[in-house]
Every structure is written in C-alpha cells, then in structure tokens.
Structure 1
Amino acid sequence: MKFLISNDDGVYAPGLLALYQALSTIGDVVVVAPNSEQSGYASALSVTTPLHTHELPSGFIAVNGSPADCIYLALHELYRHTRFDYVITGINSGANLGQDVMFSGTFGAALTAQLFGVPAIATSLVGGGAKRGGQEQVSDYQLAANEIVKLLAETSLLDACKNLPYHVLNVNIPDVNHADEIKGRKITSLGHRQVARPVHHVIDPRGRDAYWLSLRKCKHELPEKTEDMPSSAIQLTDDQAVAAGYISLSPVRLHHTPAAALDSLSALAL
C-alpha cells in the first residue's frame, strides 16, 4: 500500500513522525507537511502567494503553506504520477471532536484528498500527549500510531473507506498511558458542545488589546444507561466515546445537501 501523510502541527511534529514510522511497517509512506504549525487553517488554499518546497534529510517534504496546500500540491504536482491508496493525516496534537473538524487543518487536509477521490483518514490524539508536567511524550504518539496501524491491519476499515466517496473518517485516540487502557473502538457521530470561553481578552506588554481565540469546550456528559439497555445499544458521540476510553471513529460526509432541507426550502415562495 502507498500512503501520503500530512498534518497541521508541522513537519517536525512528533505525531507526524510516529505515524510515519508505524505506517512504514505496512506500506510505503510519503510525507508532505507544512514547514510550521498551521493549526486552525481548515481546508484553506494559498491562491495569492506561491508555494516553495524543501526536502529534509529524512526525505520529508516541507511546504510553506497550509495542510490542504500540502495535499493539493502532492497529488497534482510533486507525486502526480503516484497513485496513493490512502491519505492519512495527523497524528494531531489534541482532539478534533465535534464541530472542531470545521476548523482543523488535519481534517482539512484529509478533506482535500477526498475531493480528488483519494480515501482519507484524519487522526488525532486527545490531550496531545501533554501529560507528566505538560511535556509531550513521544511514547504517547507511538502508542496512538500503533493503534492506528492495528485499526488498519486488523479490520476492514480501509476497504470500507474506499466504498464511501466524499467521506472522511475522523479518528480520535484517547489519551492513556498504556494500550491496554483502551476499551475498544466505537463508531460515533460528531458531538456538539458549547465553547466554554470563545475569546480571551488580554492586554499585551505595550498596553494594546489582544485576543486569543479558543475552542475549549464545556464539560461533556456520558449518556445514561438503563438496566435493560446493553452497552452496545448506546449511541455515543465522539467526545463521549473518548471520555469513556474508546477510540472514536466518525464518518463525516462532505458535499451533502439533505433531501429534507431541499423539500423544505423548495416549498417556500421565493
């Protein structure tokens, strides 16, 4: 198999390296990623400035653009004669849950691949491995990468993705210390939680107003389970699944206009 991978944390991010190393055990891997962090860029393309590439000693290609730029450039120019089986993005430093996919560069890169017919999976590590004093641990990303490889090697997920055009599979790995703490995998829907504090207003050292945008959510709640309801019957959202210790797998469909919406709006006198 041939994989193209990218991310929004930058070409030097530990999650990207862990994903590359793990996927290299089951296929050929090409890396094209931003030369600096591009979190929050969604599927933005650079159409007013030129892109430049730089090959690192590792063979990774760094691009002075967004995650979507990287995939766009790789598919249509840098590796235009290569047929990739899958594009896998990440491993993102931090969760991409619910409405976060609208802003995530990691998800946006996967979305770009699907627009051109390449099956795509966006992967994230909840908590970003920021444990033990706030320091990122390479081992956390290695654990997550191994879980992604197991997901691909031990299930029919890849074949299923090929049969879902215009879908991106959004994968979130719970932040655990050991693989045996992961309870399993759950197919989930995208959740939606209110942002706790969308904007942080501060005064910078020169006395000017400054604003930090935030997507940090309010506390989640797990659904209640009745005595006659088996655990398998509970439909979890992505944030609920990872909070309960499961790997969340959310199929996200693109370019979908619901028939009910068309019927409702068509009935209006315009």
Structure 2
Amino acid sequence: MNILISNDDGFQAPGIVALYEALKDLGRVEVVAPEHNNSAKSNALTLHSPLYVSQASNGFRYVNGTPADCVHIALTGLLDYKPDLVVSGINNGANMGDDTIYSGTVGAAMEGYLFGIPAIAFSQVEKGWGHIDAAAAKARELVQQMMAQPQVAGSPWLLNVNIPNQPVAHIKPLRVTRLGRRHSAERVITQTSPRGETMYWIGSAGAAKDDSDGTDFHATFEGHMSVTPLHVDLTEHASLPAWTKRLSGAHA
C-alpha cells in the first residue's frame, strides 16, 4: 500500500505527525505538506511564483505553497509512483458543512481524488489537538477498513471525516452522514494599522444552521465519528430543465 499524506496546518503540526505515526507501518507512507499553515486555502494552486520542495530532519517533505500544491507536485513529478491512497490531516478543528468549500484539508484530499486516487480528509471537531492520539488511532482504523475492501483499488472516492476530541473508548461508532449547513459568517473585524490604515480580518465561521439528524454536525455532537462521502460535480442537475426553459428564448 502506497499512502501519500498532506495537510493544511503545516508539516510540523501535531495532527500530521500523529497521522504519520499511526499509518507508517501500513505500507510505503510519505509526507508532502505545506511549509506553513494554509488553512482555508481550499483547492488553490500557486501559478505566479515558484514552488520549492525541502526535506525536514524526520523525512517529511514540505512545500512553500498550498495543500493542493503539495499533492499536485507529488503526483505530477515528485513521486516516481502513483499512491494508492491520499490522506489529509489531521486538521486542527472541524471541517463540517460549508467548511468543506474553504478547507485546505479537504482541498488536499480532493486534489488526489481529481487525479483518480481514493482520498480521505481527517479533522478533529475541536481545536487544540486534545486526544490527537485517539483521533490518529481512529484514522488508522478507517484506513485499514478501506484497505480490506475492494474500494481502495476501485473507482476513486472522497471521504470527509470528523472525529470528536475524546479518548478512543469514548468515541462512538462511525456514522455515514451528509453535510450540514452553517449560518453566514460573523462580521468582518476591523482594526487600524500603525499607519492609520483600516485593516480587515475575516470573521469567525457561523454557527450550525442545519444540524439535524443525519448531518455531520449532529453525529459529532452525539459523540460519533462522522464520515461524509463527497463529490466534485457542482451542477444543480434538478434545475437543468427549468433553466433550459427560462433561457430558451435568450439570444447570444
């Protein structure tokens, strides 16, 4: 089994170190991760400045770019083989509901998926790395479960996983969930710079809006690890006939 690990918190983050330690004996496992924190970079690729790959003393390789850059470079030239699985995380905080649109953790996993490789994004529900070893153990458990089934060698798939910050014995069995929804983000924060200019800081994510039964929010609130299958097709298929009718008289 060849496994590529990346993340968005940076190659020195406790989450990626714990994930590597949990998976390193499952096969050939390599880490290619961002040099610095790249949270909320989604699927961004760096196109207008050069990227460099360096190697840390522990063997991890790191890139002065985004999470998607790391996986893209690994798959298009850095590695001399195609991984069987791309794993991203473990993220410092949840990636549930609308978070997945912005998440660099999900972006790294999705880059593998776009290259036709099965991929999993792992996150802890709360920030702070509490019980990170337990989260890593649950991540290993899921990876082993997938390795034991034909899915890993079959068509590519993408899973978004959120793990409660609890000891292993307290984490309830996984639930397959759908994405919930959040309220709009909180107001932007403004400050004045030493030069008298106005600075803007993006506000915090909104609270859960749809956290009903079946969502990732609901499952993790009840203490379960949530597993949400994702796909990339953004087409609103149900509305295609309506839009065709609305625009049937439109002229170029």
CA-CA distance at 1:220 after TM superposition: 6.0
Normalising by structure 1, we get a TM-score of 0.85
SS in 1 for 2:3: strand
CA-CA distance at 1:255 after TM superposition: 2.2
Residue 68 of structure 1 corresponds to which residue in structure 2?
A: 68
Residue 2 of structure 2 corresponds to which residue in structure 1?
A: 2
Residue 144 of structure 1 corresponds to which residue in structure 2?
A: 135
Cα displacement string for residues 204-235 of structure 1 (whole angstroms, at most 9, x for unaligned residues)? 45543222213422256764xxxxxxxxxxx4
Identity over aligned residues, as a percent?
39
Q: Are 1:152 and 1:158, in contact at CA under 8 Å, matched by a contact in 2?
A: no
- 1:1-270 correspondence to structure 2 within 5 Å: 1-79=1-79, 81-128=80-127, 130=128, 136-137=129-130, 140-154=131-145, 159-160=150-151, 163-165=154-156, 167-176=157-166, 178-195=167-184, 197-218=186-207, 223=212, 235-268=213-246, 269=248, 270=250
SS in 1 for 2:181: coil
Q: Are 1:161 and 1:169, in contact at CA under 8 Å, matched by a contact in 2?
A: no
When residues 198 and 99 of structure 1 are mapped into structure 2, their CA distance, relative to the original with a 3 A threshold, is farther
C-alpha distance in structure 1 between counterparts of 2:172 and 2:220, whole Å: 10
Segments of 5+ residues of structure 1 without an aligned counterpart are: 131-135, 224-234
Cα displacement string for residues 146-184 of structure 1 (whole angstroms, at most 9, x for unaligned residues)? 00111222467864365454x4200000122x1111111
CA-CA distance at 1:141 after TM superposition: 1.6
Amino acid at match of 1:182: I
Q: Are 1:195 and 1:215, in contact at CA under 8 Å, matched by a contact in 2?
A: no
C-alpha distance in structure 1 between counterparts of 2:192 and 2:208, whole Å: 28
Q: Are 1:220 and 1:239, in contact at CA under 8 Å, matched by a contact in 2?
A: no
C-alpha distance in structure 2 between counterparts of 1:145 and 1:45, whole Å: 28
C-alpha distance in structure 2 between counterparts of 1:163 and 1:264, whole Å: 35
Q: Are 2:132 and 2:165, in contact at CA under 8 Å, matched by a contact in 1?
A: no
Amino acid at match of 1:64: N
Q: Are 2:162 and 2:227, in contact at CA under 8 Å, matched by a contact in 1?
A: yes
Q: Are 1:120 and 1:161, in contact at CA under 8 Å, matched by a contact in 2?
A: no
C-alpha distance in structure 1 between counterparts of 2:193 and 2:88, whole Å: 35
C-alpha distance in structure 1 between counterparts of 2:35 and 2:77, whole Å: 18
Return 254-263 or 8-17, whichever deviates more.
254-263
When residues 155 and 43 of structure 1 are mapped into structure 2, their CA distance, relative to the original with a 3 A threshold, is closer
CA-CA distance at 1:203 after TM superposition: 3.3
C-alpha distance in structure 1 between counterparts of 2:3 and 2:149, whole Å: 12
Q: Are 2:158 and 2:230, in contact at CA under 8 Å, matched by a contact in 1?
A: yes
Amino acid at match of 1:25: D
Normalising by structure 2, we get a TM-score of 0.90
Segments of 5+ residues of structure 2 without an aligned counterpart are: none
Amino acid at match of 1:261: S
C-alpha distance in structure 1 between counterparts of 2:159 and 2:149, whole Å: 10
